[in-house]
A and B are shown apart, each in its own frame.
Chain A
Amino acid sequence: MKSKTFLMLALLALATPLFAAEGAAAGATNWVAITSGFAMAIASAVCGLAQAKAVAAACEGMARNPGASAAIRFALILGLALIESLALYTLVIILVQVK
């Protein structure tokens, strides 16, 4: 089984020159578009992690102290909106830069 997998991978590696020919025929690569895809992915991923931390802390706080729910909810919403805006700054740069 292992030798079959290696054979398949070797055949795929041999196929990569085909992609190069297509890319060159299409014109210069649009690096801005490629980079903006990665930039947005990284920004969204880290924003997701940060918001997850915020929500987890808020849930735990509300579970420990239900009386403070209103204050915790207020801090949660404020924090989420501010973290969200960081990912949106990346999106705005992309909207401005990508043709």
Chain B
Amino acid sequence: MAEHESWLTALFNDHLAGLGQAALALVGAHAENPQRPWANFITMQVVVALVMVVLFALMRPKLSVDRPGRLQHLFEVVYDFLKGQVEDVGVHHGQKYVAWFSSLFLFILFANLLGIIPTFESPTMFPPVPLGCAMATFFYFNIAGMREHGVLRYTAHFSGPVWWLAPVMFPIEIISTLARPLSLTIRLYANMYAGEQVTLAFLGIAPLAVPVAFMGLHVFVSFLQAYIFTLLTIVYVGGAVAHEH
């Protein structure tokens, strides 16, 4: 992993070290170097969050049914796409969950794309960030299932369709449900990390034109991985709230 601090992290460490230490102390964690508690991936996540907040803050007052602006059109496309995916997968009362799916999708998309800008890094290139997204999704779909069915019935549905298969099905289902955040994390992290490493490798071999092709591939993979993460979240939520008909 890159030990080198980006200019933004150095800025945070120089001026906001106390804030970083206080935030870490809130959860009982320690920084490796207490004078410089901010890590690259934390500051990059702050950048992504700020970009999203500013974007939506700029768009919100101008939302209009009669005369939509360009930003509104763009986000309507994104929203319709995600709502279409939710309907394709067939989530029961899917409308309730679209807010989470779109927040997740936009966060991961912007985080992936941030690495393309020269002095910034994708926060999703570091294992804790995809892990955080995956754990949030894990809690989200389990809590959605529990709210839909009740805690006992939701836990009971891990036992499979027939009662006499339950001793076999229950451990298998629990393990496969626990494997979901693991696979989401590794898929996103490995794609982003490998994309950057491949670009760096070719930067050492053929400096001028070839890394551009790999950066283009990395942009495509960024969109694809954000989409796949969101799609799998939709499928998991759909599975958790499904009603047997």
Task: Show the binding face of A for B, using Cβ within 8 Å.
Answer: 74, 77-78, 81-82, 84-85, 88-89, 91-92, 95
Contact = CB atoms under 8 A, between A and B. Distances in A.
Contact of A78 (B186, B189, B190, B228): B228
A89 B186 CA distance: 7
Counting from the closest, the 5 A-B pairs by CB-CB distance are A88-B190, A85-B187, A81-B228, A92-B190, A92-B186
Judged by DSSP, the binding face of A is helix
26 contacts: A74-B88, A77-B224, A77-B227, A77-B228, A78-B228, A78-B231, A81-B224, A81-B225, A81-B228, A82-B228, A84-B187, A84-B191, A85-B183, A85-B186, A85-B187, A85-B190, A88-B186, A88-B187, A88-B190, A88-B194, A89-B190, A91-B190, A92-B186, A92-B189, A92-B190, A95-B193
Q: Which of B183, B190, B227 has the most CB of A within 10 A?
A: B190
A95 B187 CA distance: 14
Interface of B: 88, 183, 186-187, 189-191, 193-194, 224-225, 227-228, 231
Contacts of B193: 95
Contacts of A78: 228, 231
A81 B228 CA distance: 7
A84 B231 CA distance: 16
Contacts of A91: 190, 194
